Each structure stands twice: as C-alpha cells, then as structure tokens.
Amino acid sequence: MSDVTQTTQATPAQTTVHRRTPFSARGEPRVWLMAMAVVVCLALIVGIIGLIVVRGSATFWQGPIDEVRLQDGSVFLGVPSVTETYQPQPDELERIEQARADGQLDNAHAFTKTGEPVRRRYFVGNRDLGQESFRWVPLWEVASIEQPKDVVLVERDEWGPFLGRVRTLRAVTDEDPNPTGQEFKPESVSDRELQSAIDTMEARRAAIARIDRTQIPRLQNQLRQLEWKLKAAHLNQERRAASADAPPAWLWWGAMVGCIVAVGGVLGLRKAVRHTNSGSRVPVAILACLLLATGSLAYLWLERPGSHKGMSDDQVTQIEQQVEAERNAILNEQSGLLTQLDDLREEDNRYRIIIEEPSLGRISPVSRSAPDDPMRLSQVVRIVPANDLSFSGRIGVYLSRWWEFLSTNPREGATAGGVYPVIVGTVTLTVLLTISVVPLGVIAALYLREYAKQGVVTSIIRIAINNLAGVPSIVYGMFGLGFFCYTLGGYIDEGPTEPTPVGSWWGLVGVLFLAILIAGACGLFVRRSGDRLPDSASRLISIGATVGWLVAVVLAFWAISSTPYFHGFFEAKLPEQTTFGGRGILWASLTLALLTLPVVIVATEEAIAAVPGSMREGSYGCGASKWQTIRKIVLPSAMPGILTGAILAMARGAGEVAPLMLVGAVNLAPALPVSTDAPFLHGDRTFMHLGFHIYTLGFQSPDSEATAPLVWTTTLLLITIVLLLNLIAIIVRARLRSRMATSAV
C-alpha cells in the first residue's frame, strides 16, 4: 500500500492528497503507556499503604472468645483469627473417612464444596502454662463452639494474654492458713468490686514504679557522680608531679612580649597597606604577625602560672570528706525509699486473683516457677470480657489499647506494651539528622556551584558525591562506629591516648604555622603577580600553595590529636563507663547525615542552578557583592528546592535501620535521649527506633507469630510519623514558594 492516496473529487482536475502518518510518529500510544505506568505506580503505593493501614489498625480490635469442645472431649478457649483449607496427612485422611463412616461429621463448615478440609487458627495465649500462642484446629474435629459470657482475656505485664474465667479476688492475710494455691475457694466477683480493686492496684503500682524506676536510679546516679568526683580529684593530684616539667617563667614573659609586638606589627602594617602600594610583602608580613600573635596567646593561656599546679593533699582530703558526707546522706535517703518500696511490694503481694483456664484446669500463676501460686492483681494490665462487650465497649477497649500503645513503655522485652520511648527516639533522631545534614549540604552545594572553578577536580567531586548515594548503608554504619564512636568519642572522653611531650608539641605547632605562612605567601604572590609570571611558574607556585595547605591540615590534625593539654571531659568515668566513646544518638544522627548528604547536595545544586542568571546580574548591577547576592537573592529563591532535598533526606534517614544497629539503636533503652534534666538533650544515650523495633518484633521475638500484628501496627506508626514530618516541611516549602516570584522547583 502506498503512502500517498489520490481521491478524485467532483471535478476531475482537482485531487486531494492524504498522507498516512507513520505509527512510530504518533504520540497517543506512548502517552497511554506513560499513563499506564503512572497508574501502576499509584496502584502499588496505594496497595501497600492500604494493606499496612488495614492490618495495622485491626491489631487492637477485640474479637470474641470461643470455647471450643473437640470430639475427644477436650476443651479450650481461643480467639479465632484465620480460617483456611489445608492438605491433610494420610493418617488424618483415614481418621476423616472413619469419622464419616461413623456419621460423626455433622459440621457443615468442616469441608468446602469440593471436599477439602478446613482448619481454623485460634489465639490461645497462656504461654506460662506451656501452651503455644496459636493453635490450628481442623473443623471436622470440633464438636461444638460456644461463646460464654463469663470468659475473659487478661492482659498481663509478663507472658502475654491469659484466657480463662475469673474465680476469686481476695486479699491474703497473715491468719489465712492456706494463703496461696488451689485452696482459694471460688467466690462471686462483681464488676464493681473488680474495677475498684484494679484502680487501687494501679495507684499502688504507680507508686512502686516511681520509687523503683525514678527515685532510686536518681540516687544511684548521684552516688556514681560522687565517685567520679573523687576519682577526678585523685587524678588531679597525680598531675601535680607534672608541675616540675613546666617551662621556665622567662618563656612565658617572652611570649607576652612577642604577643604585644605581633599585635602592634599587625596594626602598623595595616596602616601601611592603606597609604602605600606595597605589593604582596606587607600582607605576608601581616600573616606572619597574626600567626605569631596566635601562637603567643595560645602559649600564654596553656602555660599560664598555676596551670600545672594540680590539687594539694589538703584539697583532696577536703573533697574526700565532702563526698563522704554527701554519700551518707544519699544512702540514708535510699534506705528510706527501699523500706517504703518493700512495704508497698508486701502490700501488693497480698492481693491475688485466680483466672482458671478450662483445658488443663489450671490457674494463672504468679510466675512460671510457682505454677500453683495465683498471680498478683498488680500483674494485670487489663481484663476484657470479650463476649460481654457492647459495640461501644469494644470501641473503648480499642481506643484504650491505642493510648497504651502510644503513651507507655514496652514490656516483656519490647514485645508488648507501648512504644512511647520508640516514638521519642525516632523523632529526636530525625530532627537531629535534619539539623545536621541540611546546613552541611547547602554549604557544600554553594561552594561547588558558586565558588569552585568548574573543571576536572569539581567534576570528580560531583561524581564521588553521586557514587556515595549508592554505597550500602551498613558501610556508613561501620564508618560511624569506627570514627564517631571509637575515635572521636574516645578522644572526647579521655583525650589523646599517646600525647606528645610539651616541647615536641610546640615544635610541631611551629612547623604548622610555618606551613601556613608559606602556603599563604605563595597564594598571595600568585594573586598579586597576575600576568607578570609565566604560566609554568604560576602553576608551580600554585601547586606549592596547595601542597602547603594540605601539609598544614595534616599537621593541625596531628597537633589536635596528640595535644598534651587535653585529658578528656569524662576521664574520671573510665573505664567503668564511657560517655561519648560508645554508641549514642548523636553519633547515629551524624552517621545518617553522611548517608543522606548526597541527596541534599544534589537537590541544592539543582535549585541554585535553576535561579535565573538575570537576577544575579541585576544584584551585581545594584552594587551588591557576591556573598550579598547569594544571601539575598540566590538562597531565598532556591529555598523550596533546598527544602525538597531536606524532605528526601528526612524520609530516607527515618527509615534506615542497618546503620543504627551499629551506632546507637537498642532493644530497650534505660533512659530517653531527651528529658527535663540538664542538658535536656543527651547525645551520649542509646535510643529506640521504630525501624529497629519492627526488626526486633519480627525477627528477634521469642514468639514472632504472636507479635506479627504489632509489626503491622508499628509499621503504620512509622509511616504516619514520617508523613507528618514531611507534611510539616511541605507546608513550609509551599509558603516559601508562594512568597517567591521565582521558584526553584
């Protein structure tokens, strides 16, 4: 078929030519394909979020409790969860055929229409009695299923829920001949009596928790602080011998004279620069005077009179007496609290409750090692009469469980209870991550885009930044553990491990200042000489200046890491306890900041590049400097794009788990990273994280099948927190965008 078709009209001389458009040139199929790709992506996102919402929100809904009686006469209580078909084993098939022949299969729901057997999974709890949390029951073995009103689900602080019937609620007295065990006689317990006893118990339990978890740990921390104070005094006393190695006094006075001369030289040389055209010699002299003044001031401060004196024996004795008096006062207060705690626990131990389960005829024990001792009432978190609840009652139980989940601490090894510390740790880490990565990424992007000379080196740096975005996150975790925790944190705690002697260290500082002077002189010489130097000589001097600055950086790092004047901020706590020399939320946030730094740099560079050049030229035309143009024109215009990078970094950092396992996240944190005690933000503390908590629930729990619903709920909570944080940043970005006439995104 030809591509040109001639159609004859009414007049034979007139023809209309229709050209057939090639299929490859038509845009509609590609538009439909792209639209289908968008639909698929949206369907995947909506599907996974919908699955998480449905599974996560259904965890705390209380279903009915079935009392299942099997064909063999055994009875058990369970909450039905899943019903499915299955493939029976040959021996089970024989029993099914035998039961069918005997006419015992009267359960219409035991088989599908195609004859496949059906089984149901029940949550039976009662793990402290040796039961598994779940039990699969073939429906053909079920004789009857009832939902009695008197069965309850008891949520406990240990061993998970217990299913049974409330039989007895009473207080044990000293005159009771049989205070524990099966000798408790069944008594009727009204809902009012039960609720009143639970309210009293909760107040007592709160008092016990306040003493045991807050007041006594506070006193123990004060005792440790006193020990560290005494140890610091002894270390200071040991350094008294170092005063014999102090430099002579005339060196100190010589440094004083050198400092005065250097300051006067700087002032005089600056005045000479204003009135004469002295080329590059005067700026080099000014740099030399500044270095001399800096070194002299450092020597005057570090070697000031009395800096090597240390503590005398009388001062140490006085501190020992003060510490001993404070320790005795704290021990007396602690003894009173322990007595009060023992009284409360003894009173708490008197109130017992018997919950009987029907399958074994046993009771809920106080512990697995004492199976015949009824559990204390204080071990009960919530009693739910699942089959006697109205719809409003189920709503109340559902909301109360959500409130407990969001506002309380974990229990049972973080496999039950609330996630309040986990939420605090996640939000704190995300905020610290954002505060750390955004300024660093913006500064790096500004330099690369506005100041750096675009060439081979800049291209290599950009390629390296893009490659860093593909490095596995566990590599960042190893770097954070090795550098932040062990190297930088260890230096903060105890100072340099092998300090350089004082004389050698000052010689190192002198070489450092000389390297700075040479590098600065080479740079000034090339800058002032301009085109008067041959290209080869200018290039050679520039290379010398670069090498000088690199040598100066290496020497500065060497001088700081080996200084004899710094002994760490927390030397007295070592080796019993590390502060910043171990894992903590500060190092975790900095590790994640490095992980997400490429995202912020790339997004900021693109936002800066999108600012029209005419705006820069207009600013320069009005007399603004380069920095004024960047601060007043470029950064405000690029701010929406910068916030886009911050949002992407926040979203990625909040979901990372692998680095946190190495640098700070734990299953159970002893204290929150933020508190009302100074300094309010405790960067040295370990923390709990929602992503790591999900990993713990799903793969580290002793009963991962029972904690599977909490995995979905915790995942839903993590997504909600990330969305809320991103929503705040998006709102701020939208307001900035509406204010700017030119947008970067």
pLDDT of residue 177: 43
**Mean pLDDT value of segment 615-629:** 87
| Cα 391 from chain centroid (whole Å) | 38
Q: Would strands 142-146 and 66-70 be described as parallel, antiparallel, or unpaired?
A: antiparallel
SS3 content of the chain, % helix, strand, coil (to 5): 60, 10, 25
Is the pLDDT assigned to residue 393 strictly greater than 70? yes
CA end-to-end distance (rounded Å), the chain: 49
Give the CA dihedral 650, 656, 661, 665, nearest 10 degrees: 40
**Mean pLDDT value of segment 90-114:** 79
pLDDT of residue 106: 67
Burial class (CB in 10 A: 0-12, 13-18, 19+), 556: middle
Beta bridge partners of 691: none
* Neighbour tally for 589: CB within 10 Å: 28
pLDDT of residue 247: 67
Q: Which two structure tokens, joined as six digits, stand for 684?
A: 């040295």
382 versus 106: the higher-pLDDT residue is 382
Element counts in the chain: helices (H) and strands (E): 21, 15
Give the CA dihedral 76, 82, 85, 86, nearest 10 degrees: -70
Q: Is 630 helix (H, G, I), strand (E, B) or coil?
A: helix
Mean pLDDT in the chain?
A: 83
Is the pLDDT assigned to residue 561 strictly greater than 50? yes
| AA letter at 387 | N
**Mean pLDDT value of segment 304-333:** 83
Is the pLDDT assigned to residue 103 strictly greater than 80? no
- Report whether 159 contacts 368 (CB < 8 A): yes
51-61 tens-digit pLDDT? 999 999 999 99
**Mean pLDDT value of segment 240-263:** 70
Q: Is the pTM of this model over 0.75?
A: yes
* Neighbour tally for 311: CB within 10 Å: 19
- Report whether 418 contacts 193 (CB < 8 A): no
Least confident of 108-117, 223-232, 446-455: 108-117
- Report whether 363 contacts 354 (CB < 8 A): yes
Q: How confident is the model at residue 24 (pLDDT cuts 50, 70, 90)?
A: low
Q: How confident is the model at residue 7 (pLDDT cuts 50, 70, 90)?
A: very low
HSE value, Cβ hemisphere, 13 Å, CA-based, for 695: 14
- Report whether 303 contacts 250 (CB < 8 A): no
pLDDT of residue 368: 80
- Report whether 644 contacts 737 (CB < 8 A): no
**Nearest-5° angle of CA 216, CA 221, CA 222?**
100
Nearest residue to 506 (alpha-carbon basis) of 739, 312, 300, 203: 300
- Report whether 6 contacts 17 (CB < 8 A): yes
pLDDT of residue 184: 42
Q: Would strands 365-367 and 15-19 be described as parallel, antiparallel, or unpaired?
A: unpaired
Q: Which two structure tokens, joined as six digits, stand for 240?
A: 């008294």
Is the pLDDT assigned to residue 6 strictly greater than 60? no
Q: Is the dihedral of CA 382, 383, 387, 389 positive or negative?
A: negative
pLDDT of residue 172: 60
Is the pLDDT assigned to residue 731 strictly greater than 80? yes
Q: Is 248 helix (H, G, I), strand (E, B) or coil?
A: coil
248 versus 140: the higher-pLDDT residue is 140
356 versus 22: the higher-pLDDT residue is 356
482-531 tens-digit pLDDT? 999 999 999 999 889 888 888 888 889 989 988 888 888 888 777 776 66
pLDDT of residue 598: 92
pLDDT of residue 209: 87
- Report whether 450 contacts 438 (CB < 8 A): no
Nearest residue to 656 (alpha-carbon basis) of 599, 695, 684, 699: 695
**Mean pLDDT value of segment 166-170:** 75
Q: Which single residue is written with the structure tokens 């030519």?
A: 17
Q: How confident is the model at residue 331 (pLDDT cuts 50, 70, 90)?
A: very high
- Report whether 366 contacts 374 (CB < 8 A): yes
- Residues in the chain, how many? 745
Q: Would strands 4-8 and 15-19 be described as parallel, antiparallel, or unpaired?
A: antiparallel
397 versus 455: the higher-pLDDT residue is 397
DSSP-derived letter for residue 363 is B
